[in-house]
Amino acid sequence: MESINELIKIKDLEKSTNEICEFIQDEISQKLQKKGVVFGLSGGIDSAVTAALCSKSFESEQILGLIMPEKESDDSSQILAEQVSKKFNFNTETIDITKILESFGVYEMKEKIVYEKFPEFSSKCKYRVVVPPKSKNIIGVPFLEILDEDNQRHKLKISSPDFLTLTASTSIKHRVRMTSLYFHAEKNNFSVVGTTNKSEYQQGYFVKYGDGGSDIEPLVNIYKSQIYQLGKFLEIPNEILVSDASPDVWSFSTSDEEFFYTVPYDVVDLILYSRENKLSVSDVQKISKLKTEDIENLFQMQNIKQTKSQHMREIPHGWVPNFTK
């Protein structure tokens, strides 16, 4: 896949970094006229790169990273987030959102579904939702996977209503975090900086009014594979660079590829880049060595995802009156 990486490679990382920092400074200080920035710090690559860019754009007292774990968060997430703040020298605040989520009945709703599917479920078990790779032109049907006390895996079918309930119960985690970010932003006269990248944004892999709620999005035109290039250039902690990106919303750790993409990031980015730049299937085949059928399926899947998520990238529509008639 070396040719894929070369195609989307950022040619001048120093120049691009400086331009992103100038964008952040101009948006925050000039256009929004705020004193600083606040962002969610998850311990993942996107928030780490955002933190590094902000540290190059503002003084440490103008930067606040919020670490917002809950009881299903991976223990390593907070550790990695703290490593980032220490390396780039900015303030953080840790807010455990477990009790807020409990007040919504989030865990109760999720565990009720899990118990119904797997009566042997206990507090020592872990669970997640996984989307398998597509079959021809059909998007893979999500299933519930449980890791029991003996580390045995159990794959169980779930209904559409159960899937919607489970995903809604994860989306609210992002919306609670967004609310906390704006509370601290207003309190400090800061702006909220988002961490969504282009690969996620174009396919709808973000939560509207959740991690998609922000004042500026410095990474939104940068592919995920390019985020890793920036991360290496900015000297993000190596543990983050070599870890699989994860939504970190299930008790059973899940990668972004397992939960949403179904294929590696470099392939996702190649297809997005090809659609945007009108490359043909044969062009993509020469670059990637993928089979023609697979490329055609990937193009179709990307089109479906972009179409179904279009409403997430738009402001709410309103009725347009015509009072002259």
How does pLDDT run across 310-320, given as a tens digit for each residue? 999 998 989 99
Cβ-based neighbour number of residue 189 at 10 Å: 11
Structure tokens at 221: 């035109």
Query: Does 135 have pLDDT greater than 60?
Result: no
Residue type, position 270, single letter: L
Cα 19 to Cα 221: distance, rounded to the nearest angstrom:
13
Q: Express as a percent the part of the chain with pLDDT over 90.
A: 69
pLDDT value for 96: 98
Cα 323 to Cα 303: distance, rounded to the nearest angstrom:
39
Categorize the per-residue pLDDT at 239 as very low, low, confident or very high, splitting at 50, 70 and 90.
very high
pLDDT value for 153: 92
CA 292, 131, 270, 200 dihedral sign is positive
Categorize the per-residue pLDDT at 227 as very low, low, confident or very high, splitting at 50, 70 and 90.
very high
Categorize the per-residue pLDDT at 134 as very low, low, confident or very high, splitting at 50, 70 and 90.
low
Question: Which helix H or strand E contains 164, and what residues bound it?
Answer: helix 160-188
Query: Does 137 have pLDDT greater than 60?
Result: no
Query: Does 245 have pLDDT greater than 80?
Result: yes
Longest dimension (CA), the chain: 72
232: left (phi over 0), alpha (psi -120 to 50) or beta: alpha
Domain positions in the chain are: 2-102+165-309, 105-164
Cα 196 to Cα 47: distance, rounded to the nearest angstrom:
9
Q: Do residues 250 and 113 lie in contact, with contact meaning Cβ atoms separated by under 8 Å?
A: no
Query: Does 2 have pLDDT greater than 90?
Result: no
Categorize the per-residue pLDDT at 324 as very low, low, confident or very high, splitting at 50, 70 and 90.
confident
Pairing of the two strands 143-147 and 153-157: antiparallel
Q: Do residues 129 and 250 lie in contact, with contact meaning Cβ atoms separated by under 8 Å?
A: yes
Identify the weakest region by mean pLDDT among 84-98, 215-229, 249-263, 297-311. 249-263
CATH of segment(s) 2-102+165-309: 3.40.50.620
Q: Note the pLDDT tens digit of each residue in 104-131.
A: 999 999 999 999 999 988 888 999 988 7
Mean pLDDT over residues 293-316, rounded? 90
Mean per-residue pLDDT over the chain, rounded = 91
Identify the weakest region by mean pLDDT among 169-178, 193-202, 230-239, 301-310. 301-310
pLDDT value for 193: 98
pLDDT value for 133: 65
Query: Does 1 have pLDDT greater than 50?
Result: no
Q: What is the pTM for the complete model shown?
A: 0.92
Cα 34 to Cα 287: distance, rounded to the nearest angstrom:
45
pLDDT value for 138: 47
**Selected residue with higher pLDDT from 266 and 132:** 266
Categorize the per-residue pLDDT at 246 as very low, low, confident or very high, splitting at 50, 70 and 90.
confident
Q: Note the pLDDT tens digit of each residue in 147-187.
A: 999 999 999 989 999 999 999 999 999 999 999 999 999 99
CA 66 to chain centre: 16
Which one-letter DSSP state was computed for residue 271? H
Question: Which helix H or strand E contains 147, and what residues bound it?
Answer: strand 143-147
Query: Does 71 have pLDDT greater than 50?
Result: yes
pLDDT value for 248: 87
Cβ-based neighbour number of residue 164 at 10 Å: 11
pLDDT value for 4: 66
